[in-house]
Amino acid sequence: MNLVIDAGNTQIKFAVFRGNNLLHLQMGPHEDFADHVKGVFEKFPGITDAIISVVSNLDPQCVEVLTVFCRVYVLSPQSKLPFKNSYATPNTLGPDRMALATAAFYHNPNGNTLVIDAGTCITYDMVNDHGEYLGGAISPGLYMRYNALHEYTDKLPKLTPENILDFIGNATESSIHSGVVNGITLEIDGVIEQYSKRFHHLTVILTGGDAQFLSKRVKNTIFAHSNFLLEGLNQLLEYNKS
């Protein structure tokens, strides 16, 4: 069995895989790392290997704690990748984007795939039908946009995502919701259309914490897949073990 750990900007996910099957998923704050690891190994003592992807400032001692239980692979620019990496600055490519590109490569090995990860940031990652990772884009995520409007102004309130009844906001709060929610869905639809013009028979995967909220609003055909990054990490672990 494999343990997959995704240390994101806001929380850490712990997933247990047997082969390609996801057996268990839990999440929590960074400060509870050791407790979560202990709990996972109490439930699944057969775990032999783990991979960890870190995009935030995680205490290095967390990795040391993990090595007590099993072999550990820390995803880095030096890790082996199953796809051809054509990113101009491969040493700056985030481990989360490596995992998403890996999942895209295995999910649609002979096709063009755009992965949209709607988390703290929204990342766009493109793998073409030659198994080549081309890059993509990074933009502010849903909550980051709401927080920015509050933090960088004197009077705008801090809001959380809500359904918008109309794209024309008739009060301050509804105007903020329209600007953020409508703006982000128009961005995603626009990016998909832009990529579709260049890459034929494009498959679009939407994943990340805000995927379900946004998937109902995007007009283009997409596949919502909440655990796509975790599956990519598991595939990377298997690839590096071999």
Binding positions for substrate: 87, 94-97, 172
Given the residues 49, 96, 125, 210, select the one marked as catalytic. 96
In one-letter notation, the amino acid at residue 199 is F
In one-letter notation, the amino acid at residue 44 is F
Residue 168 to residue 191: CA distance in whole angstroms: 23
Q: Which residue positions form the known binding site for K(+)?
A: 117
- The DSSP bridge pattern shows strands 49-54 and 71-74 to be parallel
**Angle between the N-to-C axes of helices 183-198 and 142-151, in degrees from 0 to 180, rounded to the nearest 10:** 130
- Cβ within 8 Å of residue 175, ≥6 positions away: 169
Residue 112 to residue 226: CA distance in whole angstroms: 20
Residue 198 to residue 200: CA distance in whole angstroms: 7
Q: Which residue positions form the known binding site?
A: 6-13, 87, 94-97, 117, 120, 172
Has 154 been annotated as catalytic? no
Task: Output DSSP code: residue 163.
Answer: -
Q: Which residue positions form the known binding site for ATP?
A: 6-13, 120
Residue 100 to residue 115: CA distance in whole angstroms: 7
Q: Which two tokens stand for residue 237?
A: 């672990």
Measured in degrees and rounded to the nearest 5, phi and psi for residue 102 equal -65, -45
Instruction: Please check whether residue 143 is in contact with residue 8, taking contact to mean a CB–CB distance below 8 angstroms.
Output: no
Residue 146 to residue 140: CA distance in whole angstroms: 10
Catalytic center residues? 96
